[in-house]
């Protein structure tokens, strides 16, 4: 049947394995992603993607811990807000607060795992699916526009771009999430040091647990640095293989 044949072809495309990228592409995409993270204007624009991942982490964890999700807001200053209902204390609330700052790095690590298996198409389509699911939870106009633009770019690349462009886009995006997960933690502590973030995730965690806010900032940073190291090993696979150093 044509419908079944079409679905089978779509499934085969989704699970297909693409050729491994040349080591030079891995290095160039890593350098490009790092440059975006450490430079002011590009970071100011691209940080919206980190905010999407951050708020998505809050939202997913809230659902997984049995909390009722009220909605997500994304703002033009790259801040965001995820509202959920449930017990104001306890493990569910703690895990929900904890998830935000580590979500971009963990998503990047998951993406690195897919790219290590050369599943570029699967990575891009999973990203589109997650963005569409998150779109249903957005409660402000800027948030809707952010999700539509981001999802539209990913969809266009996955559908129309050449395999080489898809590979460059996928590797750059994953590198960006891995590097980009670290900088917001540094920014958070700077704001806290100036007394400008009294309701940060770390400060809310400090009120819910016996540990001070600085402890939770350190947890965010440790998780993200370890994730960056693991992601680097995964993404650097082509280079290691080329050098005969792959495990």
Residues 170-183 as b/e (b if ≥16 CB within 10 A, e otherwise) read bbbbbbbbbbbbbb
Residue 136 φ then ψ, to 5°: -65, -15
Domain count, the chain: 1
Q: Is 5 within a domain?
A: no
Mean pLDDT of 126-131: 96
Checking if the pLDDT of 204 tops 80, the result is yes
Tokens representing residue 178 in the block:
């891995």
Q: Is 34 within a domain?
A: yes
Q: Is 7 within a domain?
A: no
Query: What pLDDT is recorded for position 242?
Result: 61
Q: Is 9 within a domain?
A: no
What is this structure's pTM?
A: 0.92
Checking if the pLDDT of 40 tops 70, the result is yes
Query: What pLDDT is recorded for position 6?
Result: 57
Distance CA 67, CA 115 (A): 32
Q: Is 115 within a domain?
A: yes
Q: Is 110 within a domain?
A: yes
Residues above pLDDT 90, as percent of the chain: 85
Mean pLDDT of 90-119: 96
Q: What is the average pLDDT score of the chain?
A: 92
Query: What pLDDT is recorded for position 247?
Result: 44
CA distance from start to end of the chain: 45
Residue 66 φ then ψ, to 5°: 85, 10
Tokens representing residue 86 in the block:
């449930």
CA dihedral (99, 101, 105, 107) in degrees, to 10, reads 40
Q: Is 29 within a domain?
A: yes
Query: What pLDDT is recorded for position 10?
Result: 62
Residue 202 CB partners (closer than 8 Å, separation 6+):
101, 188, 192, 213, 214, 216, 217, 220
Query: What pLDDT is recorded for position 16?
Result: 76
Q: Is 1 within a domain?
A: no
Distance CA 156, CA 88 (A): 41
Q: Print the domain residue range for 193.
A: 20-242
């Amino acid at each position: 049947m044509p419908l079944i044949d079409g679905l089978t072809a779509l499934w085969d495309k989704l699970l297909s394995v693409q050729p491994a990228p040349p080591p030079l592409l891995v290095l160039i995409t890593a350098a490009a992603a790092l440059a975006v993270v450490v430079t002011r204007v590009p970071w100011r624009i691209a940080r919206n993607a980190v905010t999407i991942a951050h708020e998505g982490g809050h939202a997913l964890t809230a659902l997984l811990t049995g909390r009722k999700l009220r909605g997500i807001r994304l703002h033009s200053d790259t801040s965001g807000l995820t509202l959920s209902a449930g017990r104001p204390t306890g493990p569910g609330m703690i895990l929900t607060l904890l998830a935000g700052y580590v979500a971009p790095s963990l998503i990047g690590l998951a993406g690195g795992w897919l790219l290590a298996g050369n599943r570029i198409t699967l990575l891009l389509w999973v990203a589109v699916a997650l963005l569409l699911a998150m779109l249903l939870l957005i409660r402000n106009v800027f948030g809707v526009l952010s999700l539509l633009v981001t999802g539209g770019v990913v969809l266009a690349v996955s559908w129309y771009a050449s395999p080489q462009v898809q590979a460059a886009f996928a590797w750059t995006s994953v590198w960006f999430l891995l590097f980009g997960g670290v900088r917001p933690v540094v920014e958070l502590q700077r704001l806290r040091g100036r007394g400008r973030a009294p309701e940060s995730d770390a400060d809310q965690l400090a009120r819910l647990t016996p540990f001070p806010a600085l402890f939770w900032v350190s947890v965010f940073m440790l998780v993200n640095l370890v994730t960056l190291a693991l992601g680097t090993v995964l993404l650097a696979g082509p280079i290691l293989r080329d050098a005969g150093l792959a495990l």
